[in-house]
Amino acid sequence: MKDKILRNLEKLKEENLYREMPEMAEGAGKYIKLNDKEYLNLSSNNYLGLSELESVREEAKKAVDDFGTTSGASRIVTGNFSIYDQLESRMANYKNKQKSLVFNSGYAANLAVYSTLASRDTLVFSDKLNNASIIDGIKLSGAKQIRYKHNDTADLEALLEKHSNCTEKIIATDSIFSMDGDTCFLYKITALAEKYGALTIIDEAHATGVLGRGRGFAHEIGLADKVDVHMGTFSKALGSFGGYVAADEYIIDWMRNKARSFIFSTSLPPAVIGATIGSLKHLAKYPEIGGRLLDAAEDLRFYLQGLGFDTGGSSTQIIPIILGDNKRALMAKEFLMAKGLYVAAIRPPTVPVNSARLRLSLRLDILGEMDKIKSAFKALKEAGI
């Protein structure tokens, strides 16, 4: 067994797929410090920079002062405090749903959604570029997963028609696809769900806090009521940690009773809940800030395309620069670091083979540095990497 693992590790290195954790003092802020050098952070999902806000930090500190450092148990035993109920009430109102349920991570939330709502009698129609937690949740449920071509609703409809006799159907999709920055075709998806009697589940992880005045992509385009289950995270634009599911009361009640990732986990510590509440309070005061980020992303994307870079179908704050070759992506990352930018190099299996890329996560708190960012990418293009 040892020899097999060592051989596979060497193979990863040969294929430029070997991963290591960067040694940095802190990775969520505007700047990253690595080996005593400072880099502008274009890799964090802390899209709005809310983790840096004093008001958010004060809510976290207050939660520690009031409730301590741990919840001490799962929510259904003794690990439940008043602020947990406050957060779920806020999220239900925020998403315009009857109830919500908080989970320890977005990954845990997706495991819960699919393992409780799907079974061996269910067909789950899933976009081929959906994130790993959706795929794993479907696997855990025992349902049959039918993957349709990315954002190809004609392919989805053909598959739904082929399996129209099945009485239990779910359509699963990300709202913003995390490695491409494009959005799903929700108008068509909800219409097909209605036509074929399917439940719709949308993962708003990268849209929560940014689109729809913070409420997500489904709200942005006026289709929130057409989606049965809204899932998302607090760990990205909200600058905190954890996941949520918002839906009709009967769905949340069922999940609370059957979701193993909820029942058998110690609940999130009070500081995390406090920080999330603080972020939601800030967004309630300034719901337009996500729109400012999207406007800046559009400007940067237009500039990069003008240089000849392939940004795929991105229309959000996530901007890929698709380079294809693994080694080329790593070289581009190193080049940009020399220019003072920290940009993630994404390689298979996170993205399809031959689509290695740089993944820019634009943040609200670095918009004053756009000239520096543009200059660095201009130099990268001139270097021919």
The DSSP code for 80 is -
- pLDDT given at position 7: 93
pLDDT of residue 205: 98
Identify the residue whose tokens are 């913003």: 176
Q: How many C-beta atoms surround the C-beta of residue 235 within 10 A? A: 22
User: How confident is the model at residue 151, as a pLDDT?
Assistant: 97
pLDDT of residue 138: 98
pLDDT at 22: 77
pLDDT at 25 over 90: no
The residues that bridge with 40 in the sheet, in sequence order, are: 31, 341
pLDDT value of position 221: 97
Burial class (CB in 10 A: 0-12, 13-18, 19+), 287: middle
Instruction: Quickly list DSSP for 329-372.
Output: HHHHHHHHHHTTEE-EEE-TTSS-TT-EEEEEE--GGGGGGHHH
Question: Is residue 33 very low, low, confident or very high in pLDDT (cuts 50, 70, 90)?
Answer: confident
CA distance 235 to 206: 9
Q: What is the pLDDT of residues 242-290, one digit of tens each?
A: 999 999 999 999 999 999 999 999 999 999 999 999 999 999 999 999 9
**Close Cβ partners of 142 (under 8 Å, ≥ 6 residues apart):** 118, 119, 120
pLDDT of 345? 95
Who has greater pLDDT, 12 or 103?
103
Q: What pLDDT sits at residue 253?
A: 97
Side-chain half-sphere CA neighbours of 147 within 13 A: 11
What CA–CA distance (Å, rounded) separates 162 from 32? 50
Kindly report which listed range (1-10, 263-272, 319-328) carries the lowest average pLDDT score. 1-10
Helix axes 186-196, 153-162, angle to 10 degrees: 10
- The Cα 206–Cα 3 span in angstroms is 40
Residue 19 clears pLDDT 90, i.e. is over it: no
Query: Above pLDDT 70, what percent of the chain?
Result: 100
Res 361 pLDDT > 80: yes
pLDDT class for 201, splitting at 50, 70, 90? Answer: very high
User: Which is nearest to 262 in space by CA: 81, 87, 29, 73?
Assistant: 73
Q: What is the mean pLDDT of residues 108-129?
A: 97
Given pLDDT bands bounded at 50, 70 and 90, which one contains residue 36? confident
Q: How far apart are CA 205 and CA 311, in angstroms?
A: 21
Contacts of 225 (CB under 8 A, 6+ apart): 96
Q: Is the pLDDT of residue 210 over 90?
A: yes
Provide mean pLDDT across the span 343-362.
94
HSE at residue 323, side-chain half, CA atoms within 13 A, is: 23
Local confidence band at 35 (pLDDT 50, 70, 90 cut-offs):
confident
**CA–CA distance, 162 with 154 (Å, rounded to integer):** 12
Look at residue 41 in the predicted model and tell me its pLDDT: 95
pLDDT beyond 90 at 136: yes
The mean pLDDT of the chain is 95
Beta-carbon contacts of 382 under 8 Å, excluding residues fewer than 6 positions away, are none
Q: In whole angstroms, what is the distance from residue 366 CA to residue 374 CA?
A: 12
Cis upstream peptide for 270 (omega within 30°): no
- Provide the pLDDT for residue 20: 82
Q: What is the pLDDT of residue 16?
A: 82
Cα(65)–Cα(61) distance, integer angstroms: 6
H/E segment holding residue 320? strand 318-324
Model pLDDT, residue 17 = 83
> Average of pLDDT values for 334-340?
96
SS3 content of the chain, % helix, strand, coil (to 5): 45, 15, 35
Task: Give mean pLDDT, residues 185-210.
Answer: 98
- pLDDT value for 71: 93
Where residue 163 falls among pLDDT bands split at 50, 70, 90?
A: very high
Q: Cα angle at 292 between 92 and 315, to 5 degrees?
A: 85
- Beta strands at 37-41 and 31-34: parallel, antiparallel or unpaired: antiparallel
Cα 136 to its chain centre, rounded Å, is 15
Tens-place pLDDT, residues 289-303:
999 999 999 999 999
